[in-house]
Amino acid sequence: MNYLKLLKENNFCTPCFLVQEDIINQLADDIEVALKSKWKNGIIGYSFKTNNFPWLLSFFKQKGYYAEVVSSDEFELAIAMGYAFDRIIFNGPVKERETFEKAVINGAIVNIDSKRELLWLKECYANAKVKTRVGLRVNFCLEKYCPNESQCGDEDGRFGFSYENGDLQSAIGFLRENNICISGLHLHCSSKTRSVRIYQAIATVAKEVIEKYNLDLDYVDIGGGYFGGLPDKPSFNDYFSAVYDILNPITNANLIIEPGMSVVGAGIDYITSVVDVKSTLNNHFAVLDGSRIHIDPIKRKTSYSYDIIYNNNDNIEVNGKKQILCGFTCMEDDRFFSIENGLVSIGDNVVFHKVGAYTMGLSPQFIEFYPAVYRVSNDKVDLIRRKVTANDFILINKGV
């Protein structure tokens, strides 16, 4: 995209997010093609928590994606956005009983995470209006299969029923005793690496469980956590082929995937303007109207993908010293990065790329309210959220 042209032709209210529909659309199509080349009825659930911005939720619904939700609030959000019950995948450790039962009896895909949900299921199973689609979330030691790649190392992931200690077996036994059909297994894992090996481990465990307990499943849900839109990283085909090679010989179960980051991460930018430059005894600073809290709310990022658009020729010279780019908050650590050449001056723009995942939905209303969001498609730009105002803020925080 030609940012110079885009910024010249549009009067963006900065800071703002820019949703690049064409990129997201391409990623969404690519992952679907890769999945369906192996499982022609494969199901894709968009992970709401990765970015729950309503425009995106509508977009993925239109593409035929299911909603992948991990709380009762997200479940209600999916219903409010028009997703049908049978187009919702309900995961998560803390579901509310009422929503849980509604989901089960109306045919949502519900992956059971805990013993209390097993008991709820037993109570509501007979009331089902359609065929239920209930699965078990499998907890297994990913670290054993992929040393140094799992998120939690030797401390174990905390979701689902442990395969190794027999809890999974007990859960399967409980469902069988109560004549409850086990439709699927859910094995999402978060990892540090998003490598293909993670999915080979997931598929290997699914295979073992299916064989050991002689399960006849409708689906295996391998969750999300893929790379997408980044060069030099595994492709969607790499992931699904690896899983296919392990599962296809032993089961006819359909595959469910739950991408988040891989379909929205690379498709959203954040545009800021330089509002001030200053020097101190030891340093030089540029102050942006954006903040790290919008694109790195958990303050873990160590590098940024960005472009600087110079709108001025009067760039300051600072005698070989670096310039640190900072944000609008009053927190000292609201510093993005420093530059040593091509220093910025007032009126320049700094555009941060690929910031669509775990940003907008995680940002606090801290010091400034939510920024504007624009969408661009075919070089045409429109506003899809105006900046949140003080009155909006009061309204949602009044409570009663």
Ligand X SMILES: *Cc1c(COP(=O)(O)O)cnc(C)c1O
Binding site for ligand X (CB under 6 A): 47, 49-50, 68, 70, 91, 188, 223-226, 258-262, 357
User: Is 110 or 344 the residue whose CB approaches ligand X more closely?
Assistant: 110
d(CA 306, CA 34): 29
Beta carbon nearer to ligand X, 272 or 359? 359
Angle between helix axes 21-36 and 236-247 (nearest 10 degrees) is: 20
CA 325/CA 58 separation, integer angstroms: 35
Which residue's beta carbon is nearest to the bound ligand X? Answer: 260
Q: State in angstroms the smallest separation of the CB of 385 from ligand X.
A: 21
Nearest approach in angstroms of CB 339 to ligand X is 30
The three-class DSSP label of residue 105 is: helix
Q: Is the Cβ of residue 34 or residue 271 nearer to ligand X in the bound state?
A: 34
Q: Which residues contact 304 (CB under 8 A, 6 or more apart)?
A: 295, 336, 337, 352
The DSSP H or E segment spanning 227 is none
Closest approach of ligand X to the CB of residue 47, in Å: 3
Question: Which contiguous run of DSSP H or E holds residue 384?
Answer: strand 380-385
Q: Residue 141 CB, nearest distance to ligand X (Å)?
A: 18
Using DSSP, state whether 85 is helix, strand or coil. helix
Report residue 279 as tokens: 């020097």
Considering the complex, state which of residue 49 and residue 354 has its C-beta at the smaller distance from ligand X: 49
CB of 226 to ligand X, least distance (A): 6
Measured from the CB atom, the residue of 262 and 359 that comes closer to ligand X is 262
Contacts of 274 (CB under 8 A, 6+ apart): 286, 287, 288, 344, 345, 346, 347, 348, 349, 350
Give the nearest distance from C-beta 221 to ligand X in angstroms. Answer: 8
Closest to ligand X by CB, 139 or 273: 139
